[in-house]
């Protein structure tokens, strides 16, 4: 049998090229490929080859030749001593026939340029390039050992444990190349070097290329016996092409035999496409099933069915933890390595089914509890916003005002009464009695304008934004039963020029549900912002409110009312007490300064990470863009739009986009500053997060974290229900958010949910930032966790003491709550915490009611549907494609065979 003169491999009869190294044979027609074998240090070379340089020759006044190591299609390699640095090196020269060949010279220089971008313990290092006697050469790391091809020829195959170790190292080295966008394109046993200590390195990047710069004419360059089908056909070369070649190397390393035997390129391609492959376990009995699955996945004819990356391949090997290996080596693991770490297997049902049941049971309990504890359910909410809007319009028409061209409305929460009365109510039934009669902590406002109204910020139009400074503008506030509480109207720019002697004050009192005859006139004291020529004031009892005397201030201009307001006793008392204290001013200045310092520090750290190439730019851009999109979507749903004034609407859209881009830039900067350090010292917390950023949102770990995050949220919400009930029993005030935005219709509810997603992500990052900084400063995870819980517990305890508690009640409660969040954050990471915060925010700020037929019952339905849907979705993902009961159909079929 003939043998290849280059690699000594056996040659089938009639073959025109060597299937191992690709060298064209005498008399044969070369393939449309470029093949190359570079063995930098092999211990078994039986033949003496003619030398270009004799041993002892001095090259470039620096390198002394020791011996020639090998020769390939693209040059010769010599072992030399660097007499300047005193270390051995390998020198690679192009063949003399390549003199003047611009293509080969370009490829030679590209090899240096590309290989120098890759620094990894399992990749042969390239040092520099030079020239001697008109011949370019490159210097590289000298590996005192042999290539894998030579080793396999000597011993047949590697022991399974050693083969698995080498496989993981090949994956790590190839992943380092792929992370720089470099495709090797010539992976084969001859280019895998093993030194005298048994360490492995991927060598010979002579055919390597940047994926983004690969030309169509170069797609078929490589060694035919180790090419993927798509590469043999000249269709494409990708990461998956390298993984196919790696699978062939694995097969040969574990079994001692090549995966395919063929004598022509056509036969190779046919075998590749038909995937005619003997199972490694049929050749070797001790092959691990996971290794066999990994090899068969690599050798799938369809590139889309191969592993997504070399790191994913490494993670599928037995006992392989590339993340732990990277951390042990002192390296910063890449986002791809973090995503590939950990299991991708389905989560056991013994964990997910109880978690799902816990979420549903807890959700029902929390919903029922909040329906009886939320203050909004004590209020007389018979009239939906549409009815109150109609009532407000009727009042304005009855008072003689013309309809405006634009209008807006909303609900406002007011809570002055609790501070004024200082009453202690210790029973839920008593709170129900308290809110049977006015005044109520919820008011409805409506305003009209003769021209389109646009907020001066990117927020929705409110009672005070934009300012009521356009002639003909008018605003009205009514209570929950449609009775007038306040009216402000801006007089026309041009008056009649005469003062009316009186105005119809009785119509205003009737709209407010008051009897003017029971009020006595008093001197007016309130300053009226609108132009007026008559001012009046009265005091008297408020109909329907027990033992409450109110003050009424009113003003008119030319006989038409421009101001009317019912002032409660607590409003009169607090009118002059709204100035901020010195402490508040100092606190705001200190807080603003701290934010500025953090932002400047983040910019500097992000710049450092950017220059060092450690920042996850793609991940930061994706998260920032997602948050910006959520902001714009929420703004669109919750903002007052009026396209009759296109310029005004366009300006408002521009401000919203600018604010979204600014928020995106801030988050992008913070992410680039923080994420690399977390990835270096705490990468386990980013595994699920990294998988989602890479588009692997159907991963079972994603489902697990959704389930566990929701389970933690119902525990949190249950504790909050106990806390609210304890406040009531202690006689504390109900100062919870009434969820006014969620009472304004479906658009507002949906906008609130989108805002909750955005705030949950930023909140999880905030929690994580605090915990990570504490850990970095204190150097002890347990101590950092203790301080973390103490800080947030102190904040919650201060609010509890404000509500009349003995300090240890809220301390115990919030200590338990934030300990739960700490466990979630440490054990399951950022994504699970974000899911928990979203559910918590949704549960606290949306309105619950057991009366789903009420006009505001939609909010309850939406909340329950969203949380339940998320739980079911997470549970489905956690199954990893398995059915809920039994085994998959494919598995049953395989078992039957």
Tens of pLDDT, residues 179-194: 878 888 888 998 898 9
To the nearest whole percent, how much of the chain has pLDDT over 90?
16
Cα–Cα dist 58/62, whole Å? 7
> Helix, strand or coil for residue 166?
helix
**CA separation, residue 550 to residues 485, 539, 571, 631, 651 (Å):** 11, 6, 10, 42, 43
C-alpha span between 808 and 794 (Å, rounded): 11
Give the C-alpha separation, 164 to 469, whole Å. 77
892: confidence class by pLDDT, cuts 50, 70, 90: very low
**Distant-in-sequence, close-in-space partners of 828: CB < 8 Å, separation ≥ 6:** 685, 688, 704, 705, 708, 709
Of 342, 326, 344, 329, the closest CA to residue 679 belongs to: 326
Would you say 114 and 105 are in contact if contact means Cβ atoms under 8 Å apart? Answer: no
pLDDT at residue 538 greater than cutoff 80: yes
Residue 383 to residues 7, 372, 450, 856: CA-CA distances in angstroms?
89, 20, 27, 10
Asked if residues 631 and 757 have their Cβ atoms less than 8 Å apart, the reply is no
Residue 76's DSSP bridge partners are 71, 93
CB 207 within 8 A of CB 189: no
Residue 786: closest CA among 775, 797, 799, 802: 775
717 or 329, higher pLDDT: 717
State how far the Cα of 340 lies from the Cα of 318, in Å rounded to an integer.
14
What's residue 738's pLDDT? 65
Burial classification of residue 699, based on how many CB atoms lie within 10 Å of its CB (0-12 exposed, 13-18 middle, 19 or more buried): buried
SS3 403: coil
Which region among 35-39, 84-88, 283-287, 585-589 has the lowest average model confidence (pLDDT)? 35-39
Task: Indicate if the alpha-carbon torsion angle 457, 461, 467, 472 is positive or negative.
Answer: positive
Q: Is 740 helix (H, G, I), strand (E, B) or coil?
A: helix
Mean pLDDT across the stretch 444-466?
85
Per DSSP, 116 falls in state: T
Residue 580 burial (C-beta neighbours within 10 Å; 0-12, 13-18, 19+): exposed
pLDDT tens digits, 68-82: 887 766 678 889 999
Please list the helix, strand and coil fractions of the chain in percent, rounded to the nearest 5, in that order. 50, 15, 35
pTM above 0.85, yes or no: no
**228/242 Cα distance (integer angstroms):** 8
pLDDT of residue 320: 61
Q: Spell out the alpha helix ranges (H) of 116-159.
A: 148-155
Q: Is 305 exposed, middle or buried (0-12, 13-18, 19+ CB in 10 A)?
A: exposed
779 phi-psi bin (left φ>0, alpha ψ -120 to 50, beta other): left
Q: 41 and 69 in contact (C-beta within 8 Å)?
A: yes
Instruction: Tell me the CA distances in angstroms from 666 to 137, 460, 462, 590, 815, one per residue in order.
Output: 48, 23, 27, 20, 31
pLDDT score recorded for residue 577: 46
- Sheet (strand 87-93) strand order: 58-59, 63-72, 75-82, 87-93, 135-141, 126-132
The residue behind tokens 């979705």 is 873
Confidence class of residue 97 from pLDDT cuts 50, 70 and 90? low
Cα 115 from Cα 766, distance rounded (Å): 40
Q: What pLDDT, on the 0 to 100 scale, is given for residue 532?
A: 82
pLDDT in tens, 542-596: 887 777 889 999 999 888 899 999 998 877 655 444 555 566 677 678 777 877 8
User: Which stretches within 803-852 are classed as H helix?
Assistant: 808-845
- Taking the C-alpha atoms of residue 545 and residue 439, their distance in angstroms, rounded to an integer, is 7
Residue keyed to tokens 């919030």: 814
Question: Judging by beta carbons within 10 Å of its beta carbon (0-12, 13-18, 19+), is residue 686 exposed, middle or buried?
Answer: buried
Are 871 and 359 a contacting pair, CB within 8 Å?
yes
pLDDT in tens, 785-800: 888 888 777 766 665 5
DSSP 8-state secondary structure symbol assigned to residue 491? P
**Structure tokens belonging to residue 365:** 């309990």
Rounded Cα gap, residues 715 and 722, in angstroms: 11
Query: Can you name the residues that pair with 487 across neighbouring β-strands?
Result: 476, 564
Q: Which residue, among 674, 699, 712, 659, has the nearest Cα to 824 in the 3D structure?
A: 712
Give the long-range contacts of residues 502-509, CB within 8 A, separation 24 or more: 502/534, 502/559, 503/534, 503/554, 503/556, 503/559, 503/560, 503/561, 504/399, 504/561, 505/536, 505/554, 505/561, 507/398, 507/399, 508/399, 508/484, 508/554, 508/561, 508/564, 509/552
Q: Which of 90-94, 265-269, 730-734, 819-823 has the lowest mean pLDDT?
A: 730-734
Query: Looking at 430-434, 765-769, 774-778, which range is the least confident one?
Result: 430-434
Instruction: Give me the residues paired with residue 552 across strands.
Output: 538, 566
Strand order in the sheet with 560-567: 406-413, 442-449, 474-478, 484-489, 560-567, 549-557, 534-541, 520-521
Q: CB 71: neighbour CB atoms within 10 A?
A: 20
Sign of CA dihedral 733, 736, 741, 744: negative
pLDDT tens digit sequence for 636-662: 888 888 777 778 788 888 888 998 999
Q: What is the mean pLDDT of the chain?
A: 79
Q: Give phi and psi for 28, each to the nearest 5.
A: -90, 160
Q: Look up residue 545 and give its DSSP letter.
A: S
Q: What span, in angstroms and rounded, lies between the C-alpha atoms of 725 and 630? A: 34
pLDDT in tens, 311-356: 778 877 886 666 766 665 566 787 877 887 777 788 888 889 999 9
**What pLDDT digit, counting tens, does each position of 291-310 carry?**
888 898 898 888 888 888 88
Neighbours of 382 (CB within 10 A): 10
Q: For residues 714 and 824, what is the distance between their CA atoms, to the nearest angstrom?
A: 13
| Alpha carbon distance 109, 114 (integer Å) | 9
* Total number of residues shown for the chain: 897
Q: Which two tokens stand for residue 43?
A: 């211990």
* CA distances to 72, 74, 205 from 137, in Å: 14, 11, 14
- Edge-first strand order for the sheet with 145-147 is 145-147, 192-195, 200-202
Name the pLDDT band for 48 (thresholds 50, 70, 90): very low
648-704: per-residue pLDDT in tens? 788 888 888 998 999 899 889 888 888 888 888 888 888 899 889 888 888 999 999
E strands, 180-325, are 182-183, 192-195, 200-202, 209-210
What pLDDT is attached to residue 371?
Answer: 83
């Amino acid at each position: 049998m003939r043998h290849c003169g280059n690699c000594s491999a056996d040659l089938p009869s009639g073959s025109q090229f060597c299937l191992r190294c690709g060298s064209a044979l005498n008399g044969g027609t070369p393939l449309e490929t470029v093949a190359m074998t570079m063995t930098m240090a092999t211990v078994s070379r039986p033949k003496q080859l003619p030398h270009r340089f004799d041993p002892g020759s001095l090259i470039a006044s620096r390198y002394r030749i020791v011996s020639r190591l090998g020769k390939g299609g693209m040059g010769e390699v010599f072992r030399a001593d660097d007499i300047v640095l005193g270390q051995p090196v390998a020198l690679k020269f192009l063949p003399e026939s390549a003199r003047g060949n611009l293509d080969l010279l370009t490829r030679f220089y590209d090899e240096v340029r590309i290989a120098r971008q890759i620094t990894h313990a399992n990749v042969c290092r390239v040092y520099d390039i030079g020239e001697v006697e008109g011949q370019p050469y490159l210097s590289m790391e000298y590996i005192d050992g042999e290539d894998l091809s030579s080793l396999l020829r000597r011993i047949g195959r590697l022991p399974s444990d050693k083969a698995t170790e080498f496989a993981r190292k090949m994956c790590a080295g190839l992943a380092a190349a792929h992370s720089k966008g470099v495709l090797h394109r010539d992976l084969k046993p001859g280019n895998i070097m093993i030194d005298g200590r048994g360490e492995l390195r991927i060598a010979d990047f002579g055919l390597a290329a940047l994926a983004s710069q690969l030309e169509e004419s170069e797609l078929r360059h490589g060694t035919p016996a180790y090419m993927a089908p798509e590469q043999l056909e000249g269709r494409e070369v990708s990461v998956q092409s390298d993984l196919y070649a790696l699978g062939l190397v694995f097969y040969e390393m574990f079994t001692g035999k090549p995966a395919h035997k063929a004598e022509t390129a056509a036969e190779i391609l046919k075998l590749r496409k038909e995937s005619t492959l003997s199972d490694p376990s049929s050749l070797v009995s001790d092959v691990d099933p996971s290794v066999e699955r990994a090899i068969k996945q690599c050798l799938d004819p369809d590139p889309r069915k191969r592993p997504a990356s070399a790191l994913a391949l490494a993670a599928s090997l037995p006992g392989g933890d590339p993340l732990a290996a990277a951390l042990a080596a002192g390296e910063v693991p890449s986002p791809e390595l973090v995503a590939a770490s950990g299991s991708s297997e389905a989560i056991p049902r013994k964990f997910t089914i109880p978690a799902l049941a816990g979420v549903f049971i807890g959700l029902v309990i929390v919903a029922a509890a909040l329906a009886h504890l939320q203050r909004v359910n004590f209020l007389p909410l018979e009239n939906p916003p549409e009815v109150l809007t109609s009532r407000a319009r009727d009042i304005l028409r009855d008072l003689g005002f013309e309809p405006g061209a634009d209008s807006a409305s909303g609900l406002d929460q007011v809570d002055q009464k609790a501070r004024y009365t200082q009453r202690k109510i210790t029973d839920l039934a008593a709170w129900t009695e308290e809110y049977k009669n006015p005044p109520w902590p919820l008011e409805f406002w409506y305003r009209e304008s003769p021209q389109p109204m646009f907020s001066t910020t990117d927020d929705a139009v409110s009672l005070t934004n934009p300012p009521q400074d356009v002639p003909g503008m008018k605003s009205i506030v009514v209570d929950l039963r449609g009775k007038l509480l306040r009216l402000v109207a801006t007089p026309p720019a041009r008056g009649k020029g005469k003062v009316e002697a009186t105005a119809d004050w009785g119509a205003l009192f009737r709209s407010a549900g008051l009897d003017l005859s029971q009020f006595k006139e008093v001197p007016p004291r309130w300053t009226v912002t609108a132009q007026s020529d008559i001012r009046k004031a009265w005091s008297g009892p408020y109909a329907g409110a027990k033992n409450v005397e109110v003050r009424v201030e009113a003003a008119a201009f030319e006989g038409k009312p421009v101001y009317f307001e019912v002032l409660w006793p607590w409003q009169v008392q607090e009118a002059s007490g709204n100035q901020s204290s010195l402490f508040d001013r100092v606190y705001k200045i200190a807080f603003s300064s701290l934010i500025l310092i953090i932002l400047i520090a983040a910019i500097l750290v992000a710049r450092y990470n950017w220059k060092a190439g450690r920042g996850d730019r793609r991940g930061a851009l994706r998260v920032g863009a997602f948050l910006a999109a959520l902001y714009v979507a929420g703004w669109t749903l919750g903002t007052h739009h009026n396209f009759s004034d296109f310029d005004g609407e366009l300006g408002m859209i521009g401000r919203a986009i600018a604010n979204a881009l600014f928020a995106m830039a801030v988050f992008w900067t913070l992410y680039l500053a923080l994420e690399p350090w977390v990835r270096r010292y705490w990468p386990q917390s980013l595994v699920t997060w990294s998988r989602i950023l890479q588009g692997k949102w159907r991963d079972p770990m994603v489902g697990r974290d959704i389930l566990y995050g929701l389970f933690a949220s119902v525990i949190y919400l249950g504790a909050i229900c106990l806390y609210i009930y304890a406040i009531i029993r202690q006689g504390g005030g109900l100062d919870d958010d009434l969820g006014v935005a969620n009472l304004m219709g479906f658009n507002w509810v949906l906008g609130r949910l989108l805002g909750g997603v955005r705030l949950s992500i930023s909140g999880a990052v905030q929690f994580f930032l605090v915990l990570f900084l504490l850990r970095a400063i204190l150097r002890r995870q347990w101590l950092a966790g203790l301080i973390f819980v103490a800080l947030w517990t102190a904040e919650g305890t201060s609010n509890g003491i404000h509500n009349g508690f003995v300090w240890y009640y809220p301390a115990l409660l919030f200590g338990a709550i934030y300990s739960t969040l700490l466990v979630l954050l440490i054990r399951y990471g950022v994504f699970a915490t974000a899911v928990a915060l979203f559910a918590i925010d949704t549960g606290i700020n949306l309105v619950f009611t057991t009366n789903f037929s009420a006009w505001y019952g939609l909010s309850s339905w939406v909340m329950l549907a969203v949380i339940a849907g998320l739980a079911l979705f997470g549970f489905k993902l956690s199954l990893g494609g398995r059915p809920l009961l039994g085994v998959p159909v494919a598995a049953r079929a395989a078992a039957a065979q």
